[in-house]
Amino acid sequence: MSTYGTFPGSRPRRLRTNPAMRRMVAEHRLHPADLILPAFVREGAAEPVPISAMPGVVQHTRDTLRRAAVEALEAGVSGIMLFGVPEDAKKDAAGTAGTDPEGILQVAIRDVKAEVGDDLVIMSDLCLDEYTDHGHCGVLDSEGRVDNDATLERYAEMAQIQADAGVHVVGPSGMMDGQVGVIRDALDQTGHEDVSVLAYTAKYASAFYGPFREAVGSSLQGDRKTYQQDPANARESLRELELDLAEGADMVMVKPALPYLDILAKVAESVDVPVAAYQISGEYAMVEAAAANGWIDRDRAILETLTGIKRAGANMILTYWATEVARQL
Measure CA 101 to chain center.
Answer: 23
- Of 91, 255, 266, 310, which one is the catalytic site residue? 255
Rounded distance, CA 51 to CA 112, Å?
A: 22
- Of 90, 91, 113, 203, which one is the catalytic site residue? 203
Rounded distance, CA 151 to CA 94, Å?
A: 9
Rounded distance, CA 184 to CA 114, Å?
A: 25
255 is catalytic: yes
266, 191 in Cβ contact below 8 A?
A: no
277 DSSP assignment? E
Quickly list DSSP for 24-51.
HH-S----GGGEEEEEEEETT-SS-EE-
Count Cα neighbours of 318 within 13 Å in the Cβ-side half-sphere. 26
Count Cα neighbours of 142 within 13 Å in the Cβ-side half-sphere. 0
91 is catalytic: no
Quickly list DSSP for 62-75.
HHHHHHHHHHHHHH
Q: Is 251 helix (H, G, I), strand (E, B) or coil?
A: strand
State the Rg of the chain over Cα. Answer: 21
Q: Is 77 helix (H, G, I), strand (E, B) or coil?
A: coil
Q: Any idea which residues carry the catalytic annotation? A: 203, 255
